[in-house]
């Protein structure tokens, strides 16, 4: 008898934006030029194309590239935002779009791991979150320390009094997600190309075109600058002191062979805001992720060396040992350096440029923005298409300060 043939695996072919990306070779004209193919820019381009506009989408390095704030392997999608229901509702709306997109692909970009907030008795943020999730109708469970120990025996909950679990939330595969959105935008007619733009200068109130560093000119009726950590480099006078780019370090630790306790099916994504650290289970066999959420030193997204520091590694190991005893001596299997682009308090920046009536600034993801891509794209599209939507005061340029005082987590 011949050996049984193993079942074939599903195709994991990645979307076209991971393949050959054309460079701009000639001048272009469109309704809207979107600069930056990260999560905000890609969803904006996609939504604008859906509305019937002609769109050119540019990125200096490509969709989901390793120097973008939307690059890397994974991001949390959660509804937990303390008292900030504006972000709870945005994340709730976005989750549906992410799930819908994931269901159309040959490979998942959303993993429903559940997201667990590790809380103390004096934790106002978790208590506020509990109230907000209830008002917003988000499924959640309040777990006692006893509940936690029984539900997740692979974890140690020393110092944790209770947990807040969002069972429907989880993890988005970051670069794959961005590439999938761009691929869908291209399918809808968006012209996507490599291109880095020269900062525009305000000589008139209406911008007619921008030039690339290679000399091409792009004419548009409206312009959206959604270039994340490069926004303060393109508009240094306006945004140089309002958006702060910081180095953020991410670690992946190898899990024991043959041990499924740390897989995404058995362990949740977790967040410990009290210690400004978070992590994820083993997804796509990359290992258990541990990331430092505390803002790091200033970082240049174009020239910064992406090597994690010894102090970050030591901090990650220390926390891993405390919370997951079986991983105390786990080897470091991978590491990443990305960056946050922080506004003064963590609110997004989505507003019109004060010197150009047809230029929009979309950024300030501040480390929590990725999950909101679909809702941001929808919101920006409503602003550009004149649907009577007013600029949310919290997203306005006027609300941004030069003094950093983080309030949104």
Block means of pLDDT (10 residues each) for the chain, 409 residues, are 34 47 75 98 98 97 95 97 98 98 95 98 96 98 98 98 98 97 96 95 91 94 97 97 98 97 98 97 97 97 97 97 96 97 98 97 98 98 91 97 94
Residues 367 and 395 in one domain: yes
Residues 201 and 256 in one domain: no
Interhelix angle for 174-187 vs 39-50, to 10°?
20
Distance of alpha carbon 83 from alpha carbon 140, whole angstroms: 16
Assigned domain for 354 exists: yes
Residues 188 and 334 in one domain: no
pLDDT of residue 250: 98
> What range defines the domain where residue 326 resides?
105-170+245-340
Token couple for 269: 């994504």
Radius of gyration of the chain (CA): 21
Among 306, 323, 340, the domain boundary falls at: 340
pLDDT of residue 24: 64
Residues 192 and 290 in one domain: no
Phi, psi of 319 (to 5 degrees): -70, -40
User: 200: number of CA atoms within 13 Å, CB side?
Assistant: 25
Residues 203 and 214 in one domain: yes
CATH number at residue 316: 3.30.9.10
Residues 255 and 325 in one domain: yes
Residue 232: name the closest of 224, 218, 221, 243 by CA. Answer: 243
Residue 164: name the closest of 182, 185, 141 by CA. Answer: 141
User: 306: number of CA atoms within 13 Å, CB side?
Assistant: 17
Residue for token digits 């919101």?
379
Residues 256 and 317 in one domain: yes
pLDDT of residue 202: 80
Assigned domain for 14 exists: no
Distance of alpha carbon 360 from alpha carbon 353, whole angstroms: 6
Residues 373 and 320 in one domain: no
Residue for token digits 């020269």?
198
Token couple for 40: 């905000």
pLDDT of residue 85: 98
Distance of alpha carbon 34 from alpha carbon 134, whole angstroms: 37
Assigned domain for 218 exists: yes
Assigned domain for 85 exists: no
Query: How many CB atoms are closer than 10 A to CB 254?
Result: 17
Phi, psi of 115 (to 5 degrees): -125, 125
What is the number of structural domains in the chain?
Answer: 2
Q: Decide if 88 contacts 79 (C-beta within 8 A).
A: yes
Phi, psi of 408 (to 5 degrees): -110, 125
In three-state secondary structure terms, 279 is: strand
Residues 164 and 260 in one domain: yes
Among 306, 340, 374, the domain boundary falls at: 340
pLDDT of residue 9: 31
Assigned domain for 286 exists: yes
CATH number at residue 379: 3.50.50.60
Token couple for 141: 């469970």
Residues 210 and 164 in one domain: no
């Amino acid at each position: 008898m011949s050996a049984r043939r193993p079942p074939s695996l599903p195709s994991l072919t990645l979307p076209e934006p991971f393949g050959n990306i054309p460079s701009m070779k000639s001048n272009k004209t469109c309704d809207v030029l979107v600069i930056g193919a990260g999560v905000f820019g890609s969803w904006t381009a996609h939504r604008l194309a859906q509305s019937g506009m002609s769109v050119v989408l540019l990125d200096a390095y490509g969709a989901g590239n390793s120097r973008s704030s939307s690059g890397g392997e994974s991001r949390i999608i959660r509804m937990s935002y303390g008292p900030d229901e504006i972000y709870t509702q945005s994340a709730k709306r976005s989750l549906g779009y992410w799930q819908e997109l994931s269901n159309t692909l040959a490979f998942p970009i959303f993993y429903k791991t559940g997201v667990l907030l590790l809380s103390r008795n004096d934790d106002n943020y978790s208590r506020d979150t509990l109230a907000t999730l209830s008002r917003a109708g988000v499924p959640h469970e309040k777990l006692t320390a006893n509940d936690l120990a029984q539900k997740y025996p692979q974890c140690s909950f020393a110092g944790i009094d209770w947990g807040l679990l969002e069972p429907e939330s989880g993890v988005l595969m970051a670069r794959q997600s961005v590439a999938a959105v761009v691929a869908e935008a291209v399918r809808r007619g968006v012209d996507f190309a490599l291109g880095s733009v020269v900062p525009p200068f305000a000589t008139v109130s209406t911008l007619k075109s921008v030039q690339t560093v290679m000399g091409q000119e792009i004419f548009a009726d409206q312009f959206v600058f959604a270039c994340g950590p490069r926004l303060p480099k393109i508009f240094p006078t306006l945004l140089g002191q309002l958006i702060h780019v910081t180095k953020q370090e991410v670690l992946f630790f190898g899990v024991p062979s043959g041990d499924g306790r740390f897989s995404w099916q058995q362990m949740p994504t977790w967040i410990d805001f009290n210690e400004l650290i978070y992590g994820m289970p083993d997804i796509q066999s990359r290992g258990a992720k541990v990331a430092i959420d505390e803002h790091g030193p200033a970082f240049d997204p174009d020239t910064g060396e992406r090597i994690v520091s010894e102090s970050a590694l030591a901090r990650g190991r220390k926390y891993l040992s405390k919370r997951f005893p079986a991983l105390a001596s786990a080897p470091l299997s991978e590491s990443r350096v990305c960056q946050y682009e922080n506004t003064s308090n963590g609110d997004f920046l989505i507003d019109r440029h004060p010197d150009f009536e047809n230029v929009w600034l979309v950024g300030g993801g501040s480390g929590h923005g990725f999950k909101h891509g679909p809702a941001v794209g929808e919101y920006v599209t409503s602003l550009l298409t004149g649907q009577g939507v007013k600029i949310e005061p919290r997203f306005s340029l006027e609300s941004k300060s030069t003094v950093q005082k983080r309030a949104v987590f």
